[in-house]
Chain A
Amino acid sequence: MWFDFPEQWVFGWEVIKFIDQVVDWVVINFDPFFSAINIGVLRGILVPLEKLLLWFPWWVVIIVVGLIGWRIVSAKFAGIAMGFLVLMTVLGLVDFAMMTLALTLTATLLCVAVGLPMGIVAAKSNRIDGLIRPILDGMQTMPSFVYLIPALMLFGLGKVPAVMATCIYAIPPIIRLTNLGIRQVDPSVVEAAQSFGATPWQLLLKVQVPLALPTILAGLNQTVMMALAMVVIASMIGASGLGVEVLKGIARLEVGRGFIAGISIVFMAIILDRMSQGFARRQPVRAAA
């Protein structure tokens, strides 16, 4: 008897009801706000980007990827990337890939727009860092499709909720690594800048961000990869692209369809990963002697 926690002290049910009420209240009262985001993101970024990418003829895509790969990474990589793309074209999946790319890039853009400033703020303030850290920890441990639920409730079905869910999932790396990068900037350089009378803004823009750039770009790389991973799952709530094909494959037990879509996603992952790493490595910042 006295080992059991008394029933009447358990408030689980009350808390659940309360949270439901809060969520309902938010959804109803902030609807204009969320609709605005919905439309803004959709019309402003996602749709134009998707249209642009789909408009390119298949051979333009292959050549552009080849050129970028060659400049940023190496000739060998460019060859491999082009090979992957040719394969995807032959499998008829290039258009889907472009849709997935549009979603990934839009999500990445939003992640950077929100995450980079947040990382900077966290780097400058220990208090905010302490506040954000557990939230980020939570975000990174929740299973990714948990984010589909609030996205669905706030934005409905379609591409935008997919992007939103992806953003939440993919934002922690860029916040964390921006924070880390800025905190790890050589303190004597920071001191030197301050001793010459730099304002906090000047310090940030002239010293901290340029020196933290390799780490920040590593964060970008991780964010891109996580975004790509998430858009596949986000296809469950209406995103178009390769994820849909995978989903169909699973639903209809068409292993072949699922497989070729899945392999295309892997190809995209490899290309995006190498390119963003290559971009990071090309920065001329080296550690001071």
Chain B
Amino acid sequence: MSEENVNILCQNLWKVFGPDPESVWELVNNGVTKQEILEQTGHVIAVKDVSFEVHENEIFVIMGLSGSGKSTLVRCINRLIEPTKGTILIEGIDLAQMNDEQLKELRRHKLSMVFQNFGLLPHRSVVDNVAFGLEVRGEKGKETEEKVAQAVEQVGLKGWEKSRIHELSGGMQQRVGLARALAVGSEILLMDEPFSALDPLIRRQMQDEFINLRATVKKTVVFITHDLLEALKLGDRVAIMKDGEIVQIGTPQEIVSQPADDYVSEFVKDVPRGQVILVESIMEQPPVLVGSEQNLETVIKGMRTKRVTAAFVIDGDGRLKGITTMEQAEVSLSNGLKKVGEAAQPEFSSTSPDTPLEQCLPLVADDDTPVAVLGDQQRLLGVITRSAIIRAMQSGNAPHDEN
């Protein structure tokens, strides 16, 4: 994430559906629930006092079951649905204060949207659909054609430019939808369950391609889904919605390891924690950490006292030089080596702090030596142990948070 500029700021947003939305405020203030308000007045509170921020270039996922209000919420951001109360600021500008002309310009230049049911024009070809956003702005000519061609290539549809929409499969149609949104060059991309209408294999493929695309295309994305795994896979931060309210906002790791309430706990029970929890959350200080100049014999004694099997040897700048196990240390000592630095083995398993635990399993499968966690330039940040990994990956356990 870059300097955390807030692109979208949503404060106390409410959306009430019904003939007289203002009439429910009194009931709400008296603590009447959404269900009771529906029964008594026939009004539906789709979005209830929602607040959140979306930072520049992050993928902000809003996840919830049907009826949680997530689709209504995303449509409030481009005012396809008018909020009943509350504020939305897009790059600091109040959405509700915009007149039709300003709103039109906002939609044409700053926002673009991808829909669950694609929303394509069936009587047009792929390029004519991708060009739609540009066409609406009145752009045409060589430059426009190039923008369109670039977008088509970015989504992997090169060669299909002239095809009619009805000739394409679901996955390909959604790529057209995505290309259409990209061609416009907007900073903010709104995606309403874009992959939900696709079958599972295609969905996974699209998710992976989306992640790849992210590397080259810098945009702020608000992504709506009902699939928790998708949310955890794609999101930088995830907001979980239930019955119109946001229940928790956090990184995928926070959601899985520190669920805010029983509802979220229940949800995350089935998540393969190893894919979500990162090394940094179970990192510990190595029990024996020594400089390379230290005396080998002293180190061996220290290892015996603390009952550890390995010592981590660093140089003056904190860079990991190597590891030495008890056996290797004793052998080196008997061979006459004096400094622990000389005994240190430079080949060792290592990983980085943002690696998911699952990927560390091969490193500890055959060897229970702690794995070094390295930062830039081989600096030793900490270690992770096999038992810590296994403990953290079990469902129902929060990772061991020890300093």
Contacts and interface: CB of A to CB of B under 8 A. Distances in A.
A81 B43 CA distance: 60
Nearest to B124: A210
Contacts of A1: none
Given A193-B132, A211-B121, A199 B173 contact: no
Interface of B: 78, 80, 104-109, 111-113, 115-123, 132-133, 135-137, 164-166, 168, 170, 173, 177, 180, 184, 190
Which of A186, A285, A288 has the most chain B CB atoms closer than 10 A to its own CB? A288
Which of A196, A198, A206, A284 has the most chain B CB atoms closer than 10 A to its own CB? A196
A196 B108 CA distance: 5
Contacts of B121: 189, 206-207, 210-211
B80 A288 contact: no
Contacts of B118: 188, 288-289
Interface string A197-220: 111001000110011000000000
B173 A196 contact: no
A208 to B, nearest CB: 11
Given A197-B105, A197-B108, A288-B166, 6 more contacts: A192-B113, A196-B113, A197-B137, A206-B136, A207-B121, A283-B123
Interface of A: 186, 188-189, 191-199, 202, 206-207, 210-211, 283-289
A289 B173 contact: yes
A196 B184 contact: yes
A189 B119 contact: yes
Given A207-B121, A285-B122, A289-B170, A196 B132 contact: yes
B202 to A, nearest CB: 13
A188 B111 CA distance: 17
A285 B108 CA distance: 26
B19 to A, nearest CB: 14
A223 B283 CA distance: 78
A237 to B, nearest CB: 43
B140 to A, nearest CB: 14
A210 B123 contact: yes
Contacts of B108: 196-197
B87 to A, nearest CB: 21
B122 A287 contact: yes
B166 A289 contact: yes
Contacts of A285: 122-123
Given A196-B132, A199-B104, A288-B166, A191 B123 contact: no
